[in-house]
Structure 1
Amino acid sequence: MDWRIMRRRKKTSILSYWTFRYIIILCVGFTIIALCALYWIRDTAKDSRLKTAGLLGQEIADRVTSADGTLNIPPQMDPLLDSRLRYFDFKGDLCLIITDDEGNLQYSKPPLRQDEVRSYLSDDLSASRRDNSQAVITPIEADGEQIGQVSLLLSKKSLSYSPNEVALLGVLFGTLILCGWLTIYLLSRKLSLPIRQVAESARLIRAGRYDVNLNVQSNEKELDELVDSFKDMASRLKQLEEWRALSLAGVTHELKTPVTSIKGLMMAVRDDVVQQEEAKEFLDIALKESDRMERMVTDLLDYNAFAAGYVEVRKDRLELGGLLSEIAFQWSLPYAGMNVTVETELPEQPVYIAGDALRIQQIVVNLLNNGQQAAVPGRPIELTLRLLEAEGKARIEVADNGSGISAEELPYIFERFYRGERKKRHIRGLGLGLTYSSLLASALGGELRLAESSPAGSTFVLELPG
């Protein structure tokens, strides 16, 4: 049930997924930064405004002190105070109270009565009585004695809050968030575009359409490698699909041909169409055709068993020189009296390896058969079986003097069911010999490869660990 729910869960694109989550992270991060910055700005602004208020109070104290050391409120006090408030940029509620040394009201702005002073200041006139304001007290002194005080009552909100600063902070962080989101959006869009095209092409391939066209230009190395690898994969899948269809038809044809031939030959013998010597000749042909069909079926069974991991490979101690001599002798027996020769070139010292004699024989016999099948009409078949030892590895070379392999066919000779044009026309088979031999070589811990090929012949190399 949970699995079905997960499958029904709506999927989102990379662009939406990353941009949405990035903007959330960005907003949370900048909100924390903004709150910290706002606290710091408010604290700094409050300290700065208190110092400014102290300077204003000191100036007013100097203005109201007369030359004879008495408290004297100048007549131009109101316009002077208004100009100073504009200069120091004090906004919000502000109350200025000037009292003498006995606490008597001498001047106030806005105008207050004596009994109202106690509603603004504490009994000792040293602090604000209201919770929403803060008092800045500046003593008025003359000849070293305090003759009064200037009390500035400022709104706590005006001390710590500045609309311009808050607006600037909001614009700054809004711009940063927008720029960050735009950056991740553009990067995610650039990243998701080739991935989306690759995903769309993958859906086409899954639907059986291998002619994909990926026109993606990317400066990023990883994306460029991804697109190139996908193009190669699509091309490879297309080739494999074509080979699969052709191979299926070829396998069917190759198996059907000997069956049809055997059936026709046997019916001719049964119906007395041919008799005596000719009938024996028909039976011999039928036996050869059955042998060919048996080899093809054996190739299929061996390949399928090995691909499924059902074939066991032994690790016996072997002397390769003697094994190769025996293989060459047994293989050449059916060709006695023909223009087929197998030469062996073996080192003087014995070469030992840990391997499976049967599997090595299968590989070498397959290579010898390929060399014999590559023969050029009119040219005696010469095969060379060579053994070398170097760097702790045994190297078996099987060389022929056949027609070679064309450059177009070289990349595909180890592919399953692949058969060159020449083999398709002249030789029956399934195209599994080299594929199976390569798998056996890998299972033995070695490698089978084509060393060289030309119209003068080909050389295959089997390397095995010592």
Structure 2
Amino acid sequence: MKNSLFSKMVVTYTIIITVSFTILAAFLSFWFQDYFIKTRQRDLTRQADIIEGIATKYLTGASSYEELTTSIKFISTYINDDIVLVDSNGYVYSVTNIKYTPLIGKQIFHDDLENINNSDYIDAFNEYGVYMDEKIYVMMKVVKDTKGQSMGATLFSVSTDILDKSLSNVYQIIWLSAVFAVIASCIVIYYFSQKMIVNPLSEMSGVARKIAQGDVDKRVEIHSDDEMEEFANAFNVMADSLQKVEQNRKEFISNVSHELRSPMTSIKGFIGGILDGVVPDEKHKYYLNIAYEEIQRLTRLINDLLDLSAVESGTYKLEKVPVDINEIVRICILRNENRIRNKNLDVQVFFEGSELWVLTDGDKITQVVTNLLDNAIKYGKEDGLIQISCRKKGKKANISIFNEGSNIDEEDIKHIWERFYKVDKSRTQKVSTGLGLSIVKKIVSLHDEEIWACNKENGVEFIFTLQLAKKSM
């Protein structure tokens, strides 16, 4: 998967682990080299102490030459190094390797034994025909008696090849372990990354493509008890929302199609009947009036659809200024005076003072009051009561519109703000577009205010809030 999250993650983790194990392996290699050499030196020092006792016994006559050679050869075999013994005058008197036999009885050192270095040993050996290469290191331990007087020295001929070979074996173990650890870590990372991240993301990606193709019922099933499960749950919540949006879209198209088809069918039928001569001349005006009413209904529906579209698209901008809500209520009542008289409605208005200033968009809130009052007039019973009140409550103004009439089922109250939602037939009239309350809800929400409906004993009341403001100058 080129440039995939999985490949990037595996490469990143592999680099981090490789660098980490490389540093660790290098540290262990240097540490073990120092540890090995110091351990080797301590081991030779202990053997030198043993040889010191054996050499002292021989030099003082307490043991034979055979006992001396047998002991140091055993020690030489144990430590895998050659041993050369010299007396206090620098004469060689015992060796463990036959190649050093020419040195026996020869004075290889003429200076103080404690002042001789490694190059002096090699030069002395070479002088008597025992040639030493550069891979030999000679370690000397001075032999002293009980009084601290020098009685000679013990020389250990240590081959650096053996040291290098031992260290090389250790280095191989360390670096092979590091390589194995890197490979094992990469396999573990690959497996768990694939299982915990890549597979869930791939599943969500596949479901997302199916949802994009219209299969909105698809969901992601991930149970990992971690952030990936939370992400999957959030994805499913989004899918639920998309499904609801898709369902609302289908219902909206269906409702709009139905609302447009009915008046268009009526208009077509009436005008077609008139043009075909089926309708008598004396009935022309009657049917033309019906067609005109249907055209008005279509106009209201289209205007409401345009308003709703503007609100939902975000182009419905608010210009909040101090406005007298009492005056808006008065204007809306006057505009509907003829309808109120036709139904013989008793409209009662309660104002808390002659003015009540609120911070709002005057045109938009006028539409809210108009729609709510229109709703109250349409669904209010003949000769019934409409009550409108504007009161202060804390830092808010509460505007309520009540109409006498049938109650709304509690289950329906939850859905009255939805587009084209139909309640029982007693509250459904042909003059309603089914969009008025949806527009009201969205305008009030744009103001960051609240609106709700509740059933009263003999009717229904709608209440919304607005922020109080000081009177404009």
Q: Fold conserved (TM > 0.5)?
A: yes
Q: Does 1:335 align with 2:340?
A: yes
Deviation of 1:201 after TM superposition, in Å, equals: 1.4
Q: Does 1:196 align with 2:188?
A: no
Structure 2 residue aligned with 1:152 = 156
Match for 1:286: what amino acid? Answer: A
Structure 1 residue aligned with 2:112 = none
Match for 2:49: what amino acid? Answer: Q
Contact 1:64/1:71 (<8 A) preserved: no
> 1:182 and 1:78, CA in 2 relative to 1: closer, same or farther beyond 3 A?
farther
Distance 1:225 1:343 in 2: 54
Contact 1:446/1:462 (<8 A) preserved: no
> 1:369 and 1:185, CA in 2 relative to 1: closer, same or farther beyond 3 A?
farther
Distance 1:186 1:109 in 2: 60
Q: Does 1:23 align with 2:14?
A: yes
Deviation of 1:75 after TM superposition, in Å, equals: 1.9
Q: Does 1:435 align with 2:438?
A: yes
Percentage identity across paired residues of the two chains:
21
Contact 1:446/1:463 (<8 A) preserved: no
Mapping for residues 61-76 of structure 1, pairs under 5 Å: 61-66=52-57, 69=60, 74-76=65-67
Deviation of 1:64 after TM superposition, in Å, equals: 1.0
- Residue from 212, 215, 219 that aligns with 2:225: 219
SS at match of 2:221: coil
Give unmatched runs, 5+ long, in structure 1. Answer: 1-8
Contact 1:104/1:114 (<8 A) preserved: no
Q: Does 1:299 align with 2:298?
A: no
Q: Does 1:205 align with 2:190?
A: no
Deviation of 1:63 after TM superposition, in Å, equals: 0.9
Distance 1:134 1:317 in 2: 102
Contact 1:54/1:136 (<8 A) preserved: no
Q: Does 1:98 align with 2:85?
A: yes
Q: Which range is displaced more, 428-437 or 142-151?
A: 428-437
Deviation of 1:39 after TM superposition, in Å, equals: 0.9
Q: Which range is displaced more, 246-255 or 337-346?
A: 337-346
Contact 1:251/1:430 (<8 A) preserved: no
- Residue from 282, 285, 292 that aligns with 2:287: 282
Deviation of 1:166 after TM superposition, in Å, equals: 4.6
Match for 1:251: what amino acid? Answer: V
Q: Which range is displaced more, 103-112 or 396-405?
A: 396-405
Distance 1:346 1:174 in 2: 86
Mapping for residues 42-53 of structure 1, pairs under 5 Å: 42-53=33-44
Q: Which range is displaced more, 65-74 or 230-239?
A: 65-74
Distance 1:95 1:397 in 2: 113
Q: Which range is displaced more, 209-218 or 171-180?
A: 171-180
- Residue from 279, 293, 299 that aligns with 1:273: 279
> 1:458 and 1:52, CA in 2 relative to 1: closer, same or farther beyond 3 A?
farther
Structure 2 residue aligned with 1:464 = 466
Match for 1:136: what amino acid? Answer: M
Contact 2:82/2:156 (<8 A) preserved: yes
- Residue from 363, 366, 370 that aligns with 2:368: 363
Mapping for residues 307-346 of structure 1, pairs under 5 Å: 307-338=312-343, 340-346=345-351
Contact 2:397/2:466 (<8 A) preserved: yes
- The RMSD of aligned alpha carbons is 3.8
Distance 1:382 1:78 in 2: 133
Structure 1 residue aligned with 2:422 = 420
Give unmatched runs, 5+ long, in structure 2. Answer: 109-116, 126-131, 469-473
Contact 1:409/1:420 (<8 A) preserved: no
Contact 2:204/2:232 (<8 A) preserved: yes
Distance 1:205 1:380 in 2: 53
Computing the radius of gyration from Cα coordinates, the structure with the larger value is 2
SS at match of 2:56: coil
Distance 1:182 1:320 in 2: 72
Contact 1:139/1:148 (<8 A) preserved: yes
Q: Does 1:123 align with 2:120?
A: yes
Contact 2:221/2:232 (<8 A) preserved: no
> What are the Cα deviations for residues 417-465 of structure 1, in whole angstroms up to 9, with x where unaligned?
442354797546654333333332244x332433545896554433222
> What are the Cα deviations for residues 59-105 of structure 1, in whole angstroms up to 9, with x where unaligned?
21221113764797742455534654676xx46xx332222233332
Distance 2:34 2:280 in 1: 119
> What are the Cα deviations for residues 282-308 of structure 1, in whole angstroms up to 9, with x where unaligned?
232222111111111111222333444
- Residue from 137, 140, 143 that aligns with 2:143: 140
> 1:62 and 1:453, CA in 2 relative to 1: closer, same or farther beyond 3 A?
farther
Match for 1:218: what amino acid? Answer: S
